[in-house]
Amino acid sequence: MEQTFFMIKPDGVRRGLIGSIISRLETKGFRLVALKMLTISPEMAREHYAEHQGKSFFNELTDFITSGPVVAMVWEGPAVIKAVRTMMGATDPAEADPGTIRGDMAVSLSENVVHGSDSPIAAAREIGLFFRDL
């Protein structure tokens, strides 16, 4: 069974969207394997976004993701990575379709409510980073 890492970012937590976002994934039929709320350290943020290091928006990414608590999760199900990415919608909420999480809930490109793994390799890396005990 495929697993993916999924996170509700600080803007989603601040806005009280945790329950409605989790409900979407549960309604789809995926199984929640692990969940924790935490505030990401600057070191963990740099490791999480390592592929963006050196890009002009790297500091903005790490500053935002460390600005408040996040809800980190592991979800499981058939083709869960692709399905969750589809449910999330485009990274830019202005381009995200209505009915997607970002299309319905996100405000801006920099505050787009959620993060989800984009591949099995990324899922394994992110699950290992946030859930070292799994």
What whole-number distance in Å separates Cα of residue 104 and Cα of residue 59? 27
Cβ 2 vs Cβ 122: under 8 Å: no
Selected catalytic residue, list 65, 115, 116, 127 = 115
Q: Residue 115 catalytic? A: yes
Cβ 37 vs Cβ 69: under 8 Å: yes
- Which residues make beta-bridge pairs with 7? 72, 115
Question: Positive or negative, the Cα torsion across 120, 73, 116, 47?
Answer: negative
Question: Positive or negative, the Cα torsion across 25, 49, 12, 69?
Answer: positive
E strand or H helix at 3, and its extent?
strand 3-8
SS3 5: strand
- Residues with active-site annotation: 115
